[in-house]
């Protein structure tokens, strides 16, 4: 090692937001059962600290959800990884709809894997911050919209896959109707404290429903804010 290397690394910013911190997070995700290498590599290269407030950036690579304002949270990395791998397990979708842009992190992970991501957020202020991050990171395959995502994005339907990142009491029929044949939808469903990650696959014989385990998400709300 060159004698300068240590100083150079310090000059690049806090070790808490470095590539090494991301590498360690990916190792943890693998140890906790995330197996899809495509997902792990996207997460390894995406700066999660840029999706949260600077005051919390030093905690960006802990495996935890963090507040992003307006009572909302950026999802825990393990949950992002698990939902992403469950969504692309059968086949890699080309057009994906996400409901609940929030910080934009989940949309950015998807953007590294699929053709185009369409994402809908009901809180305009959060959407504006997310769009700024997409531009800064040159993620030009993300389209976003301020609306009540329970209605989906009818003008752009059908979608090969749909991911909902806020929990509804039940599955949204409007979203199921915007799923392409052979499409896949993943959503947390149920009341606070009793939500189940649910995967729906649209096949010739109808919809097939699978429960992928307990999760904890902020609620899917009506209207826009
Ligand atoms: N995917 C986000 C997680 C954000 S938390 C991320 O990676 O950061 C869930 C988000 O869903 C919140 O921002 C919340 O405002 C939004 N939300 C809740 N109900 C919604 C609805 N009906 N339509 C669109 N967004 C909704």
Position 51 in a domain: no
Please tell me the predicted confidence (pLDDT) of residue 14.
Answer: 62
> The whole model's pTM is what?
0.94
> In this structure, what token pair is assigned to residue 125?
């202020």
Give dist(CA 225, CA 222) in Å, integer.
9
Give the domain range for residue 74.
65-215
Ligand 1 pocket, 50 CB below 6 A? no
Q: What number is the average pLDDT over the span 1-26? A: 65
Position 88 in a domain: yes
Q: Helix (H, G, I), strand (E, B), or coil: what is residue 178?
A: coil
User: Which of the following is catalytic: 14, 75, 103, 216?
Assistant: 75
Residue 79 has pLDDT above 60, yes or no: yes
Calculate the average pLDDT of the chain.
93
pLDDT tens figures, 156-173: 999 999 999 999 999 999
Please tell me the predicted confidence (pLDDT) of residue 188.
Answer: 98
Test site for ligand 1: of 51, 87, 100, most ligand atoms within 8 A of the Cβ = 100
Element (H, E) at 161: strand 159-164
CA 156 – ligand 1 centroid, Å: 19
94 catalytic residue (yes or no): no
Question: Hey, which residues does 179 pair with through a beta bridge?
Answer: 159
> If you take atom 17 of ligand 1, which residue's CA is the nearest one?
100
Position 20 in a domain: no
Which letter does DSSP use for residue 3 in this model?
Answer: T
Position 194 in a domain: yes
Position 147 in a domain: yes
Query: Which CATH number fits the domain that encloses residue 149?
Result: 3.40.50.150
> If you take atom 26 of ligand 1, which residue's CA is the nearest one?
100
Tell me the backbone φ, ψ of residue 21, rounded to 5 degrees: -65, -40
Give Dmax (Cα) for the chain: 65
Position 101 in a domain: yes
pLDDT tens figures, 92-151: 999 999 999 999 999 999 999 999 999 999 999 999 999 999 999 999 999 999 999 999
- Burial class of residue 130, CB neighbours in 10 A (0-12, 13-18, 19+): buried
Q: Alpha helices, DSSP H only, in the chain?
A: 5-11, 19-31, 37-45, 77-88, 105-111, 124-136, 173-176
Number of domains in the chain: 1
């Amino acid at each position: 090692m060159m004698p300068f290397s240590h100083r150079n690394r310090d000059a690049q910013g806090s070790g808490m937001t470095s590539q090494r911190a991301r590498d360690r997070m990916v190792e943890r995700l693998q140890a906790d059962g995330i197996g899809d290498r495509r997902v792990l590599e996207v997460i390894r290269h995406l700066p999660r600290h840029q999706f949260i407030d600077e005051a919390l950036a030093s905690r960006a690579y802990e495996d935890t959800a963090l507040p992003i304002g307006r009572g909302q949270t950026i999802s825990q990395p393990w949950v992002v990884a698990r939902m992403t791998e469950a969504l692309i397990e059968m086949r890699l979708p080309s057009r994906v709809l996400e409901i609940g842009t929030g910080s934009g992190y989940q949309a950015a992970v998807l953007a590294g894997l699929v053709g185009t991501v369409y994402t809908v957020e009901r809180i305009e202020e959060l959407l504006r911050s997310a769009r700024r991050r997409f531009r800064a990171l040159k993620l030009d395959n993300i389209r976003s919209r301020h609306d009540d995502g329970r209605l989906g994005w009818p003008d752009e339907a059908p979608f090969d896959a749909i991911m909902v990142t806020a929990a509804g009491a039940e599955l949204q029929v409007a979203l199921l109707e915007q799923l392409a044949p052979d499409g896949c939808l993943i959503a947390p469903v149920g009341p606070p404290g009793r939500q189940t990650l649910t995967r729906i696959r649209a096949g010739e014989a109808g919809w097939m429903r699978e429960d992928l385990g307990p999760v904890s998400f902020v609620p899917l709300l009506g209207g826009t804010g």
